[in-house]
Amino acid sequence: MKIDESAVWVFDLDDTIYPERDYQLSGYRYLANHLKELFQKDIFHEIMQADSSNQDVLDEICKALSLPIATKESLIWMYRLHVPDIKLTNDVTQILDEIRTNYSLAIITDGRAVSQRNKVKALGLGGIDILISEEWGEVKPGKRRFKELENRYLESKQFIYVGDNIKKDFITPNEMGWLTIGVKDKGFNIHSQDVNLVKSAYLPKMWIDSFSELRDFLC
């Protein structure tokens, strides 16, 4: 199926355009490096150990550095505000470039303004229209940002949302008659894609195994 060039492609960010696990790992490396400078102790091993045994990583950092638990608050903000070391794959870069050239392109993502903008900047997507929940006072599946894009592109007849989270990504664009495309989890996603957990209205109209399959839709 080819998508007409008048369409507007809208993407989720985390676990759609890049793996959110990469962001987590970048945050851990940042914390380890920065705390090593401040406390002269390398705790990267303890961080990864806590992560792999599903312990609270920040609690374990406080323990490893003998810090009061109240310090956790500062660690959370260090993590949230760090400029991540994350990259797009060549395939994703090429496809987004093609979409940027031939169609309209935007991102609707949930999260904090600074964290999400740091991610987008690190991924080299700084120029793209991005609608972040914290800046709009509404998370998905809220309608406001989807409606906003319909209003910005009044002349467009087709809107597409590409996401990964079946609990909140697709229900609203489905209701609004958008084409919805789900990118299948490769096993590292933060949110489950167990389709038995939700009603069919929450599911994307189409699934793709990998982002590169979007190439089949482009003119």
Can you tell me which of 22, 46, 164, 185 binds Mg ion, judged by CB under 5 A? Answer: 164
Would you count residue 15 as binding Mg ion (CB under 5 A)?
A: yes
**Cβ of residue 183: shortest distance to Mg ion, in angstroms?**
9
For the beta sheet containing 104-109, the strands, ordered from the edge strand earlier in sequence to the opposite edge, are: 129-132, 104-109, 8-11, 159-163, 179-183, 206-208
**Cβ of residue 142: shortest distance to Mg ion, in angstroms?**
15
With contact defined as beta carbons under 8 Å apart, do 165 and 108 qualify? no
DSSP state of 9: E
Q: What share of the chain is helix, strand, coil (3-state, %, to 5)?
A: 45, 15, 40
Instruction: Please tell me the count of residues contacting Mg ion according to CB under 5 A.
Output: 5
Closer CB to Mg ion, residue 14 or residue 46?
Answer: 14
**Cβ of residue 15: shortest distance to Mg ion, in angstroms?**
4
Closer CB to Mg ion, residue 14 or residue 22?
Answer: 14
Would you count residue 185 as binding Mg ion (CB under 5 A)?
A: no
Can you tell me which of 8, 9, 12, 61 binds Mg ion, judged by CB under 5 A? Answer: 12
**Cβ of residue 169: shortest distance to Mg ion, in angstroms?**
7
Helices (H), the chain: 20-39, 44-52, 57-64, 72-81, 90-102, 113-122, 133-136, 144-152, 171-175
Q: 33 is written with which tokens?
A: 């490096």
Closer CB to Mg ion, residue 32 or residue 160?
Answer: 160
Closer CB to Mg ion, residue 17 or residue 43?
Answer: 17
Would you count residue 14 as binding Mg ion (CB under 5 A)?
A: yes
With contact defined as beta carbons under 8 Å apart, do 62 and 71 qualify? yes
Q: 195 is written with which tokens?
A: 């389709």
Interface contacts to Mg ion, rule CB under 5 A: 12, 14-15, 164-165
